[in-house]
Every structure is written in C-alpha cells, then in structure tokens.
Amino acid sequence: MTFADPRLDRFETVAMAGHLVDGEMEGALITNEGELWIGRGRAPWRRILASIGGPIVTFTTAGEIGTLFDIGREISCRSAYGRFPDGVELLIYEDHLNEGGRTFWRRPGESWVRLGLPEDVHLATVSITPLLDQLLVSASGRDARFAVHDPRFPLRPPRFCPKFPVGNSMASVAPVSDRVYFGGENAVSNISWSFR
C-alpha cells in the first residue's frame, strides 16, 4: 500500500480504518511495529502513538493520549473496550503468553476488577460494540455474545448471554438502524442480523 507520506512506505499495515471528512479521506492505521498514525488527504501523516508494551491507552486525532488500563510490563497483542449507558466499562485484552482474553470491568470512577468467567464463556478481543443498552462482544470462532449490565444492581458485574453464530470473525461490526452488519475474514459470509 502506498501513501502520500513516504515515511509510511517502510511499514507493513496491520489494520486501517477511515472515513470522509469534508470531502477528504481521514484515516488511522496501525503498523507491524505497533505504531498508530493519523492522516488526512495528502497532508503528511502524524505518528501519535508508538508503544509496543506498556499501558492500553485512549487517544484523539489531536494527539491527546490518556491511560485506560495499565498492564505493567506485559505486551498487549490487542484489546477491546466498551461502555454501558450507565457508565460501567468492560475491557478484554490478550498478551503473547495468554490464550484468549482477560476480562475486566469497573464502575465509573473506580478501579478495574478482573471478571471471573464461567469455563464455557470464551471471549475474543476482536470487538465490543454498543447496541441499545447492551454490548455485543465477539466470542470464540464466528460467534458473539451480548454482555448486559442491569443499572438497578450497580454492584453486580456484567453478565454474558449465550453465544450465537454470526458467520464471521466480527472484524467489522456496523449497527445501522435496526440491523447489525458483521464483516471479517470471510467475505462470502458477510451477513446482517435483524433484532426486530
């Protein structure tokens, strides 16, 4: 892939996303060296984050970076994050030594707590997508689960509903009106699912 900015030609792109802003393409990409770059149109791209190890961070396109979760000296392969309407947060991350994701949750203003999951609940760090008052979480294989948190019981951690097949890896999840579109590794199996 060639970009207007020649500095990016030396990297392998691992993931990229973009959208049109005022008629120009604005994009973000992650390189094989763990760097995050932001670009718009033909302007030079900006590296706003370069961190293979250390904390999982939040960022803005202006370059403001904040710590979401400190994993110490471990190296995180990937993570997925979601927030319920009542402010309760859910985080799944995995590292090189751990198979599957480690799941944490927290109430607003509190510290992260590891969430012990039943043995039959396997979550993946592919995506967490807000949907109505729940979170749609990628599970093992081509399955998904809804995570629910009842605000009437704020001290209880989120619960996970039974898994259901979505036909793809959930690399892309797009809620549109009353439908959810799933895309991923298998272009033939890109499907939509209606929750009417």
> Comparing 34-38, 64-68, 122-126, 190-194, which segment has the lowest mean pLDDT?
190-194
The residues facing 89 across adjacent strands are: 83, 106
**Whether the predicted pLDDT of 153 surpasses 90:** yes
From the list 7, 29, 34, the residue with the least C-alpha distance to 16 is: 29
Domain boundaries, the chain: 1-50, 51-194
Query: In 52-163, which ranges are E strands?
Result: 56-59, 65-69, 76-83, 89-95, 102-106, 113-114, 123-131, 134-139, 143-148, 159-160
- How confident is the prediction for the chain on average, in pLDDT? 74
pTM for the full model?
A: 0.67
CATH of domain 51-194: 2.120.10.30
CA 164 to chain centroid, in Å, comes to 19
Contacts 24+ apart (CB under 8 A), 85-89: 85/130, 85/133, 85/151, 86/149, 86/151, 86/154, 88/149, 88/154, 88/158
- pLDDT top residue among 84 and 2: 84
DSSP symbols for 142-170: TEEEEEE--TTSTTSPPEEPPPEE-SS--
With bands split at pLDDT 50, 70 and 90, how would you rate the model's confidence at 148?
very high
> Are the C-beta atoms of residues 75 and 52 closer than 8 Å to each other?
yes
Q: What is the pLDDT of residue 196?
A: 46
Contacts 24+ apart (CB under 8 A), 100-104: 100/124, 100/140, 101/125, 104/69
With bands split at pLDDT 50, 70 and 90, how would you rate the model's confidence at 152?
very high
Residue 109 dihedral angles phi and psi, to the nearest 5°: 80, 5
Q: What is the pLDDT of residue 88?
A: 93
With bands split at pLDDT 50, 70 and 90, how would you rate the model's confidence at 75?
low
Distance CA 127, CA 137 (A): 6
